[in-house]
Structure 1
Amino acid sequence: MSRSGSVGVMLPRDLPPSRVLPFARRADELGFDELWLVEDLGFRGGVAQAAAVLAATERVRVGIGLLPVGARNAAFAAMEVATLAQLFPGRVDVGIGHGMPAWMRSVGEWPASPLGLLEEYLRAVTALVRGESVGPGEYVRLDGVRLEPACVPDEPPPVLAGVRGPRSLALSGRVADGTILAEPTTPEYARAALAHVDAGRPHRLVGYNAAAVHRDASEALATVRGGLEWIGEPDWAPHLAPLPFAAEFAALRRECGSREEFARRLPEEWVRQLAVTGTAEEAKARLAELFEAGVDSVVLIPIGPDPREAVERLAAVL
């Protein structure tokens, strides 16, 4: 563990298959506390990646972000998660979320009540991995389902909610063991999210951020812009609303004809606030600000043409 919180790294979703396990092993060797995996439509499955990475590494904690509720029956999701937790005790975190609306609609799985389904799903998976029986709900229709005693992990894995908006954050505070905030997680956004979470009990906050570190700060800033292309789109609005330049940010995106142009025109001051970047010392200072704002685990998304080289440079913050 790092001094003030955990520092994790994201396994890029589009790595060639031959580079996935070497990347995971290197992250483990470099000393990152956590390694988070992506389950995005059309890329690789989260559970399969997690099993392979856990088997290939010795120490690092592995998080799945995110399993969309519409993709799997809650009982079978719990079976997968419990299996990982039994085989690799104390090393598994599971993130569950709505899923990107456009993706879920494209596979016919966007529910009539996203909040209702997410709450019942989180409650069901959490109960099942703890060995409890789950009955039918309005959206998750299980009939007295439970895991066999021999298949209940001694150390149930934390179940976190990957959410953005105020009502979903409040739901996470009621139901989940923690909350995962997608990139960009700024100190302002973390504080605003925690105000909605208001768990009143131990609740872990995980925040993703695009990241690039270089001994030449200008080189790092130029590199990390590539990881900020998407954040001007409407789904990212909750991340930007707490920032003092939110209105100017939205205006810039409207002016730009493409995401690439938008990322290129972002003022340097904004880039520094929307990513973990600069020299190693500058990046460490940003991590300290995030921990001070209430983020327990900062997950760095390596940006650059060579992910292996990028993660080596990010290790300078550890």
Structure 2
Amino acid sequence: MKHAHGKIGVLLPRDLRPTDVIAFAREADAHGFDELWVVEDLGYRGGLAQAATVLAHTHRIRVGVGLLPAAARNVAFTAMETATLAQLHPGRIDVAIGHGMPDWMRSVGIWPRSPLTLLREYIHTLRTLLAGRPADLDGHYVRLDGLRLDQSALPHHAPDIFAGVRGPKSLAVSGEVADGTLLAEPVAPEYARQALRSISPQRPHRLTAYNVAVVDDDPDAAITAARPALQALGDPDWKPHLTPLGFQPELAELRRTCASPQEFAQSMPREWVGRLALAGTPEQVRARIQHLFEAGVTSAVLAPVGPDYRSALEALATLL
């Protein structure tokens, strides 16, 4: 479903009850969302396993994997898994590759000395293999001796490979080697525009943006419901998202003075919450999504908030 220059997707929550995963995916498909993105966060569910499952239980919706940390998987085996999904579900799979959260990657002993070099080598090689070409590379991190996927394993059309990144240097690598960029939440129009300046794409390039989203006929109730999902924004990793908004120093100071992430989220000024989440009436949220499309976002992916994700999904579907 095309929506005024962009597509609308939804995020499969990482902590969704296992008995609800297939039902959530089927409902997203039936409601008419264009995309469903699954999450691979350390300690939760695997991205490729989720993607395979929801692809097998849906008919139309495009499924994205956000994101696979480059250091966690040998690129040849990622290519095999991705090619299999693209072959069995043609035109319905996107895969994002990223650095992974530094603390998570260090905690399992796989943070590289040069994440940018690894990402560049990895995505270039992955796209080479998915295109059916031999990959012969003796790089700093990726070393393949002429490997080529067998013709029987190749999809008819290679899927798009995204870079899931946030800082300017990483965004520039995305513009150089990837088919698209996946931006984690929050993505305000100001951040989308700044990201595109860093990406500086020289060919067609998709821009997918996650955002916490709450739809309610009562805009104050929507703002209140969105607050708990913004607790992590006081951490330094989110600085690139916040700097273009003009209140990042004040937000960092608020987090420093609050005793907990929960207190921080509840103490944020309403105006900040309104810019860090898509929260409000259906008309208000549609307008915010349109602003994202005007800023260059090609897919706006809505992250529902709990405690009842399936009810939240139904409310988000009113945007369609």
Shorter-chain TM-score bucket reads over 0.9
Which string of whole-angstrom CA distances, capped at 9 and with x for unpartnered residues, describes residues 53-92 of structure 1? 0000011000000000011100000000000000000000
* 1:108 aligned counterpart, secondary structure: coil
Corresponding position of 1:232 = 234
Deviation at 1:248, TM superposition (A): 1.5
Corresponding position of 2:127 = 126
- Greater CA drift, 259-268 or 249-258: 249-258
2:81 aligned with 1:80, yes or no? yes
Corresponding position of 2:213 = 211
Corresponding position of 2:143 = 141
Distance in 2, Cα, partners of 1:140 & 1:214 = 48
Corresponding position of 1:187 = 189
Deviation at 1:232, TM superposition (A): 1.1
* 2:2 aligned counterpart, secondary structure: coil
Alignment RMSD (CA, Å)? 0.8
Matches within 5 A, 1:81-160: 81-136=82-137, 137-160=139-162
Distance in 2, Cα, partners of 1:232 & 1:213 = 24
Corresponding position of 2:57 = 56
Deviation at 1:304, TM superposition (A): 2.5
Deviation at 1:3, TM superposition (A): 2.3
Distance in 1, Cα, partners of 2:291 & 2:256 = 30
One-letter amino acid of the counterpart of residue 232, structure 2 = W
Which string of whole-angstrom CA distances, capped at 9 and with x for unpartnered residues, describes residues 199-238 of structure 1? 1210000000001101111111110111101111010010
Deviation at 1:49, TM superposition (A): 0.5
Matches within 5 A, 1:31-70: 31-70=32-71
Distance in 2, Cα, partners of 1:9 & 1:226 = 19
* 1:99 aligned counterpart, secondary structure: coil
* 1:242 aligned counterpart, secondary structure: helix
Deviation at 1:106, TM superposition (A): 1.2
TM-score (norm 2): 0.98
Tell me, yes or no, if the aligned pair for 1:212 and 1:304 is still in contact at 8 Å: no
Corresponding position of 1:3 = 3
Corresponding position of 1:71 = 72
* 2:182 aligned counterpart, secondary structure: strand
Corresponding position of 1:278 = 280
Which string of whole-angstrom CA distances, capped at 9 and with x for unpartnered residues, describes residues 138-157 of structure 1? 21011111100111111110
One-letter amino acid of the counterpart of residue 294, structure 1 = G
Distance in 2, Cα, partners of 1:210 & 1:227 = 7
* 1:183 aligned counterpart, secondary structure: coil
Tell me, yes or no, if the aligned pair for 1:205 and 1:297 is still in contact at 8 Å: yes
Distance in 1, Cα, partners of 2:122 & 2:191 = 26
Tell me, yes or no, if the aligned pair for 1:128 and 1:134 is still in contact at 8 Å: yes
Distance in 2, Cα, partners of 1:246 & 1:187 = 15
Distance in 1, Cα, partners of 2:150 & 2:312 = 43
Matches within 5 A, 1:238-249: 238-249=240-251
* 2:195 aligned counterpart, secondary structure: helix
One-letter amino acid of the counterpart of residue 219, structure 1 = A
Distance in 1, Cα, partners of 2:253 & 2:193 = 24
Tell me, yes or no, if the aligned pair for 1:224 and 1:304 is still in contact at 8 Å: no
Distance in 2, Cα, partners of 1:119 & 1:29 = 37
Distance in 2, Cα, partners of 1:142 & 1:108 = 23
Distance in 2, Cα, partners of 1:138 & 1:264 = 45
TM-score (norm 1): 0.99
* 1:63 aligned counterpart, secondary structure: strand
* 2:162 aligned counterpart, secondary structure: strand
Distance in 2, Cα, partners of 1:178 & 1:111 = 23
One-letter amino acid of the counterpart of residue 174, structure 2 = S
Long gaps (5+) in structure 1: none
Which string of whole-angstrom CA distances, capped at 9 and with x for unpartnered residues, describes residues 173-200 of structure 1? 0000000000000001000000000012
Corresponding position of 1:23 = 24
Deviation at 1:249, TM superposition (A): 1.4
Distance in 2, Cα, partners of 1:304 & 1:52 = 22
Distance in 2, Cα, partners of 1:288 & 1:16 = 32
Aligned length, in residue pairs: 318
Q: Report % sequence identity.
A: 59
Distance in 1, Cα, partners of 2:319 & 2:228 = 20
Return the match for 2:267 from 257, 265, 268: 265
Distance in 2, Cα, partners of 1:157 & 1:167 = 24
* 1:199 aligned counterpart, secondary structure: coil
Deviation at 1:2, TM superposition (A): 2.5
Distance in 2, Cα, partners of 1:33 & 1:307 = 18
